[in-house]
Amino acid sequence: MQFFELNSEDKIGYKNLTDADLRRSPTSHQTHIGLFGDVLTFLPNEVDIEDALFVYNNSCDEMPVSFDRIQRKNGEYNSPKIKSGGFGTISVTTHIYNITNSKPHNIKWFLVWFGLKSEQPVFFLIEENSEAYNYLVNLGLDLSDGVKDRITPSNPIFQSVARYVEDIVNKNGKNIIREAEELAQTGGVTVAGTTTLRPRKIRAYNIDRANKLQKIIGKKGEEYIDKYLENEQQNGAISKYTWYNKDFESGLPYDFSIEENDGNIIYLDVKSTAGAFNQKIYYSNQEISFIANSNYEYKIFRVYDIYNAPKLKICDDFKSYATALNQLLSSLQTNIESQSATVQLVKLAVPTDSTDYSFGNEINLPVIQ
C-alpha cells in the first residue's frame, strides 16, 4: 500500500523549463517558474509552504516553496508560479536554479508537478535523457521542446504516469515515511531514548495515514509470524503456539506465546516496520514492566521490509535490558508521585544495534498475500 497518493484533483502538470525559468537568459531577471493554470487548484492564491516535496535524481526532500497566482484587473487569479522567495534562500525554486546552473546550459530540463492527498505539492525535476525522462517518454508523455501541458484521467497514459510518479515519491520519501511511522507508534508523546522529532508540524493527513498503515503493517507482520511458527510446529521445532490477536486486538503486552517441546513457555512480541531493520523499536512502560516482571522467557520478533522482501530477526536476550529500564521507570514514577502526579504513559525507543542485547541472523520470510 502506498503512503503517498495523488490528490483527487487528478491532474499532473509538466513543462520544458525555459532559459528564463532557469535564470539562464542574460536579458531576463525572472525570479519565478510559471506553472500550468489548472493544476494545484487546491492551493490558496498566495501561500508559503514549508513542506513541499522536491524529487530529483532518486532523492526526495521536504523543502519550502512560495506559491502564488497573479490577480488580473477583473479580479480573477491565474498564471500560478513558484517564486524564489518565501521561507528563506533555500526553496524548491532556488534548488532548481542551483542544480540546473551547475550543468552545461545545453541540457534540457523538465518539471513535473502535482498534488498529494495530504495537499502537499510535489515538484519533480527531470533531466533530459535521464532514467526518469526516458521512462516517461516511453510511456507516451510528450517531453519535447517548449512543451507545457497537463494530463488528466481522460488521457490513456494517465494511470501509468500517475503510478510512476507515486512510486517515485514513495520510493524516495523514506525519511518522511519513517518520521510519520514514528509518530504513529508514539502517539505524539515524548519519546525516551531517541532524538527529538523535528519541531515542524507534520500534516494531520500524513499522521492519520501513518496510523492506518501502522495497524495494517502490525497485522501483516503478525500474519508472517503465524506462518513462520506454523512451519516450526509442523517441523517439530516447537510443540504449539498461540496467536492472541488473530481475531481481534487483545490488548495484551505480547502477541504470541510458544510452548517448546520440553514444556518451556516463551512470550514474544512482533515489532513490524515497512522500513529497514535498524529503525528504532517502540515500547510502552507497561510493556517493559511485563517483560521485566514475567517469569517466562521473552523474545522480540523483528519483521521488516514488509512490503518488498519481508525478513525476520529474533532477539532472545532482551529481558535483562528491559529489567534495567523498568527499574529506571519505577524510580521515575516514584519521584513523580512524590509531587502528587502520576505517570500514565511513557514511550521508549530502543535501538536494534545495542550492545546490551542482540538479534540473530536474518531470516527470509515467504511472501503471503
What does the alpha-carbon distance between residue 234 and residue 124 come to, in Å, rounded to a whole number? 50
Give residue limits of the domains in the chain: 12-172, 178-364
The reported pLDDT for the residue numbered 124 is 96
**The pLDDT value given to residue 229:** 97
Residues 145-156: what's their mean pLDDT?
A: 95
pLDDT tens readout for residues 44-100: 999 999 889 999 988 888 889 999 998 888 878 888 999 886 444 678 999 999 999
pTM of the model: 0.73
The pLDDT, as a whole number, for residue 359 is 97
Residue closest to 272 by CA, chosen among 262, 287, 259, 282: 282
Q: What's the sign of the alpha-carbon dihedral 125, 130, 131, 134?
A: positive
pLDDT (0 to 100) of residue 193: 46
* Tally of CB atoms within 10 A around 137: 16
Distance of CA 104 to the CA centre of its chain: 34
- Average pLDDT along the chain: 89
CA 81/CA 123 separation, integer angstroms: 12
Burial level of 345, CB count in 10 A (0-12/13-18/19+)?
Answer: exposed
Residue of 213, 219, 193 whose CA lies nearest to 356: 193
Tens of pLDDT along 308-342? 889 999 999 999 999 999 999 999 989 999 999 98
286 contacts: CB under 8 Å, gap ≥ 6? 253, 345
Give pLDDT tens digits for 96-146.
999 999 999 899 999 999 999 999 999 999 999 999 999 999 999 999 999
Give the model confidence (pLDDT) of 209-219 as tens digits. Answer: 888 888 888 99
pLDDT bracket for residue 4 (50, 70, 90): confident
What DSSP letter does each residue of 153-210 carry, written as one string?
TTSTTHHHHHHHHHHHHHHH-HHHHHHHHHHHHHTTS-EETSPPPPSSPPPHHHHHHH
pLDDT for 343: 80
CATH class of the 12-172 domain in this structure = mainly beta
Read off φ and ψ for residue 348, nearest 5 degrees. -120, 135
Stated as kind and residue range, the H or E segment containing 310 is none
What are the two backbone dihedrals, phi and then psi, of residue 252, each rounded to the nearest 5 degrees?
Answer: -75, 155
Share of the chain above pLDDT 90, in %: 63
Look-up of cell digits 479580479:
75
Spatial contact of 14 and 167, defined as CB atoms under 8 Å apart = no
Quickly list H helices, 1-114.
92-100
